Amino acid sequence: MANMFDLTGKVALLTGASKGMGLAMAQGLAENGATVVISSRKQDQLDEAAAGINKAVGRDAAVGIACNIGYPEQVEALVAKTRSQVGPVDILVGNAGVNPYYGSITDIPDDAYEKTMKSNVQSDLWLAKAVMGDMIEKGEGSMMFTSSIGAFKPSTSLGVYGMSKLALIGLIRNLAAELGPKGIRVNAICPGLIKTDFAKELWSNPAAKERAENDIPLRRLGEAEDLAGLAVFLGSAASRYITGQAITVDGGSVMWT
């Protein structure tokens, strides 16, 4: 393969992609030739983000389509609009998620629990079901979903969030098993603590800075751009024999021992 990372002619759909990790992944995919559809709840933010990608890559590579992933009809509409405006989906990046609650799992209100599980797990199943027909028709495709290293350990303040991300890995593995015979690969991306607006409460304090400087092997917190290369890898032929995996991007915070 002359360039196994080349995504020319591929269509990538990303949720949670108007800023942070999702935007960084979208730009990485566009820089390697893909046409990207970015999605989040607010159209004005998407338009600004898409313009930024187009300026960076020097072509009309990105378009924004608003969608709230908590509603199945909006997810289906997002995929339908992507198909009609750009084409069938080759690469899916489910990056949108929520964390509405901090504290003990024994105190979480039912509505917060249900919102977490719906947005962080069920919505990704909706996405997968909506795009898999495109991939089955082509006999190939790549899906990736953003989990978290929080899936690998308990937490006294982010327990339900971690539970949802572990459930998401379970979903991904089942999708990988079921869709593999159709040529579709499905993987989990598991970030550590990344300096994004979503995680600001976790990293914008002296304790996080001290931990980064003393405990993380690479001695820094993650940046959104650290996710771009993995998205390109998983979306391209470079990873053509990789599926059902949970790949950490965390500076070495979590290692198998």
Q: Is 113 a catalytic residue?
A: no
Catalytic residue (one of 71, 101, 102, 161): 161
Mean pLDDT, rounded, for 81-109: 96
Nearest to 226 by CA among 187, 188, 194, 190: 194
Q: What is the model's pLDDT at position 227?
A: 97
Q: Exposed, middle or buried: residue 34 (CB in 10 Å: 0-12, 13-18, 19+)?
A: buried
User: Helix or strand or coil: residue 183?
Assistant: coil
Mean pLDDT, rounded, of the chain: 94
Q: What is the model's pLDDT at position 257?
A: 46
**Do 5 and 236 meet the contact criterion of CB atoms below 8 Å apart?**
yes
Residue 36 pLDDT exceeds 60: yes
Domains annotated for the chain, with CATH where assigned, are 11-249 (3.40.50.720)
Mean pLDDT, rounded, for 29-48: 98
User: Please, what is the angle between helix 110-117 and helix 159-179, to 10°?
Assistant: 30
Q: Exposed, middle or buried: residue 205 (CB in 10 Å: 0-12, 13-18, 19+)?
A: exposed
Neighbours of 193 (CB within 10 A): 20
Residue 110 pLDDT exceeds 90: yes
Q: What is the model's pLDDT at position 152?
A: 95
Residue 128 pLDDT exceeds 50: yes
In total, the chain counts a number of residues equal to 257
Write out pLDDT tens, residues 169-195.
Answer: 999 999 999 999 999 999 999 999 887
Full-model pTM: 0.95
Mean pLDDT, rounded, for 223-249: 97
Neighbours of 252 (CB within 10 A): 12
**Do 16 and 38 meet the contact criterion of CB atoms below 8 Å apart?**
no
Q: Exposed, middle or buried: residue 173 (CB in 10 Å: 0-12, 13-18, 19+)?
A: middle
Contacts with 61 (C-beta within 8 Å, 6 or more apart), sequence order = 30, 34, 35, 36, 53, 54
Q: What is the model's pLDDT at position 203?
A: 57
Mean pLDDT, rounded, for 43-51: 98
Nearest-angstrom CA–CA distance, 101 and 80 = 32
